[in-house]
A and B are shown apart, each in its own frame.
Chain A
Amino acid sequence: MAELEQLATSSGGTPPLDETIAEPDYSAAPSRRLEIAIAVTALMLSLLALWLSRNIILRMGGGGVDPKWWPTLLSVLAAGLAAILVGMSFLAPPMSRGEVEATEKDGWIRMLVALTLSAIYVFAWSTIGYVIPTLVFTAALLFLFGLRSWKGLVIFSLATTAFIYGLFHYLLKVPL
């Protein structure tokens, strides 16, 4: 089973026996600091959840197995697990992060801009409707992701916007 786990966490590659494939390893590096941050954040959020659970306002008075009981139980369990994570983050060696790749500097910009564009798009959609924001949003995303062909930018944006509009508005009867 341990062998299988090892195989499963390799980045989709062949088993270690195969020496013919030597690809660069892009896995994220293990980090004690990150493990501590995760554990402490989890503990703080669990305590916040516990506080919120105890402060649920009940219309008919509480006690026993009331609506506060289940969220309180979950928060306590989460706090206990988070406390174990805190202990492990200080005492155990940091866990391997082979299942995620290391981030790229460009990647942060690409991701944050894509998120910002998405937020602007949703806001624009709520104020000026679906068509124009979708056209601009799709073209902006393509440009952000590296497409520089004007034909590609225009045709793909137009086609995507029209396809979605046709599919939802006419076929699925969902007003956009």
Chain B
Amino acid sequence: MSALLDGVLAVFEPSVMLCLSIGVVVGMLVGMFPGITATMAVALASGFTMTLEPVQGLAVLLTIYVAANFGDRIPSILINTPGTPASIATTFDGYPMAKNGQAGLALIVSALVSAVGIVASMVLFAGAAVPLAQLALRFGPSEMFAVVVLAMTIMISISSKSITKGLLAGIIGLFIATIGRDPITGDARFTFGIRELNGGLDFIAVIIGLFGIAELLDQLLTHRNHEVKPISALGRWWPTKAEYKRIAKPTAISGLVGLVVGIIPGAGGDIAGLLGWDRAKAASSTKATFGKGNIEGVAAADTASSATLGGSLTTTMALGIPGDSVMAVMIGSMIVWGIQPGPSLFVNEPALVATITAIMVLATFITLAINLVRMPMMVKLLDMPKPYIWATVLVFCIVGTYATTNNLFTVWVMLFFGVVGLILKRCGIPAGPIVLGLILGPLAESNLRRSLLIDGPTGLIDKPISATLIGLAIIAVIAALGSPLLARRKAKRAKANPS
């Protein structure tokens, strides 16, 4: 009990509260500016948090994660452009509401349900993380390899439009992870005599390149001088009693959707938001007005995407498998601080569950309060000129990357992967599976090799847990391959039979 209390109290230290405040400001800003994603911001902030204590660093990164989740709704509602992919579904009803003179109402409802979603998901995290970790502790090399395969296939099947390109991206990530010394024999692989490559590629540099620099270069490449002016007539702010009642049902339905989606490795707020909006629409008595400015649509989309946060944290911390791309970056930082996410984490550091929960909940309430009180001021920030944002991001990417190793070689690696990331993005090859492969590569390789050495070639299918997980992975790939075919057949049938 005292370990849990210590974990909670650690958050209230002045230095941690300062880090939390910085995280709130940064998170809100990155959420609000379209093009700067939470993943990019957390990757960038990783460079700045390397020298902090783990709790301080976690306070910055987790708070950015939470606050970006609030901030990204603002441009979705006011300029019909999602601040991050997690708020795509918010645009469906948020922007039409704003056009109908109800922007203020949409913004407040969005903030309230986002807080509900995050707090509900943290209850899930607090309750499920330790039992899940205890279950995973019984896993041997075969089971751990099977978990990695399942996580990768699920992420690949949902994050990429082309399953072949998604799989290729995952393999690229796994291959990049082999650069450096072999984990078992210590033989040098693909180092080409470069001393800096002996320890492998710097994870944070690769992430900042793939997510930060690549995104920035793409924006520079495609930017057009057309300004979308935010809607200025915000209307009334607070919902009426009847409106609170209306949003209760979609909030509950989509909250459940978000909790389930959050647990699935690789599935983030974007997928949950779309699914939650769709499920709430199906259950609504006013479904005809969904997509035309229905307050239930805003509530559903935002609750679902926010409710994924706790689920993502659960798989990340309990299994060591990143729940979404932000968590993938977070794992990199945690490893640098000496925290190895995975089944043994909560056995070794039980207070950490309480600390993480306290940070997330506190960050949610602080961000909610700011959203409710200072919203008109934040809306004005949407007018910030692009040159300042781009220059700041580029300079911070370079200096932040340098800070991770104090070596400019790391910056060259980051710039190289920025260019690679841009090429991959333009070619439709997703960066998410590459990062997942990079993180899980050593885990996958060492466990597979151990499993083969201990249990022989049939080890993976002899054991019930690993056989089930591998089976699920195969189903995930088949489902991903089959869904476009089914959709095409359905469209053909609908075309042939319009009635």
User: Which A residues have a C-beta under 8 Å from some C-beta of B?
Assistant: 1-5, 7-9, 12-15, 17-18, 20-21, 23, 26, 28, 34, 38, 42, 49, 52, 56-60, 65-67, 69-71, 74-75, 77-78, 81-82, 84-85, 88, 95-97, 99-104, 107-108, 110-111, 114-115, 118-119, 121-122, 125-126, 134, 137-138, 141-142, 145-147, 152, 156, 160, 164, 167-168, 172-176
Contact = CB atoms under 8 A, between A and B. Distances in A.
Given A70-B448, A99-B428, A145 B92 contact: no
Query: Shortest 3 CB-CB distances between A and B: which pairs?
Result: A2-B487, A145-B387, A67-B182
B428 A100 contact: yes
Given A38-B427, A174-B403, A67 B291 contact: no
Interface in B259-308: 270-271, 274-275, 278, 291-292
Interface in B221-243: 221-224
Given A8-B270, A77-B171, A115-B217, A99 B391 contact: no
Contacts of A21: 80, 95
Interface string B380-420: 00000111101110111011001100101001100100010
Given A14-B92, A95-B428, A141 B386 contact: no
A74 B391 contact: no
A104 B80 contact: no
A18 B82 CA distance: 17
B168 A141 contact: no
Interface stretch (B113-121, B158-166, B327-335): B158-166
A13 B408 contact: no
Interface stretch (B62-70, B185-193, B353-361): B185-193
Contacts of B52: 172
B499 interface: no
Given A99-B161, A134-B395, A168-B403, A71 B189 contact: yes
Given A12-B88, A52-B190, A142-B391, 16 more contacts: A7-B92, A14-B291, A17-B292, A49-B175, A56-B189, A59-B185, A70-B178, A74-B171, A100-B222, A110-B223, A111-B217, A138-B391, A141-B391, A142-B387, A145-B387, A172-B50
29 contacts: A3-B278, A4-B274, A4-B275, A4-B278, A5-B161, A7-B88, A7-B89, A15-B92, A21-B80, A21-B95, A56-B189, A59-B187, A67-B182, A67-B184, A70-B178, A71-B175, A75-B175, A85-B168, A119-B415, A134-B399, A141-B387, A141-B390, A141-B394, A146-B386, A160-B392, A164-B395, A164-B399, A172-B50, A174-B50
Given A20-B99, A58-B187, A142-B391, A74 B175 contact: yes
B168 A100 contact: no
A114 B217 contact: yes
Contact of A125 (B50, B162, B408): B408
B386 A145 contact: yes
A56 B50 CA distance: 33
A172 B51 contact: yes
B459 to A, nearest CB: 12
Nearest to A12: B82
B2 interface: no
Contacts of A101: 218, 222
B interface majority secondary structure: helix
A101 to B, nearest CB: 4
Interface string B148-172: 0000000000000110110110011
A134 B38 CA distance: 26
A56 to B, nearest CB: 5
Contact of A100 (B48, B88, B426, B445): B426
Contact of A12 (B81, B162, B399): B81
A12 B168 contact: no
Nearest to B95: A14
Contact of A8 (B88, B185, B452): B88
A117 to B, nearest CB: 9
Contact of A58 (B165, B185, B220): B185
Interface string B201-233: 000000000000000011011111000000000
B248 interface: no
B399 A176 contact: yes
A175 B305 CA distance: 40
A85 B221 contact: no
A156 B174 CA distance: 41
Contacts of B188: 56-57
Given A2-B483, A58-B187, A18 B220 contact: no
Residue picked from A49, A57, A74, A146, most chain B C-beta under 10 Å? A74
B110 interface: no
A110 B391 contact: no
A104 B220 CA distance: 9
Given A2-B490, A74-B171, A147 B222 contact: no
B369 interface: no
B406 A175 contact: yes
Contacts of A119: 415
B175 A1 contact: no
A122 B411 contact: yes
Contact of B425 (A7, A13, A81, A100): A100
Nearest to B222: A101
Contact of A67 (B172, B187, B220, B292): B187
Nearest to A101: B222
Contacts of A114: 217, 220, 394
Contact of A17 (B50, B291, B399): B291
A137 B428 contact: no
B324 to A, nearest CB: 15
Contacts of A74: 171, 174-175, 178
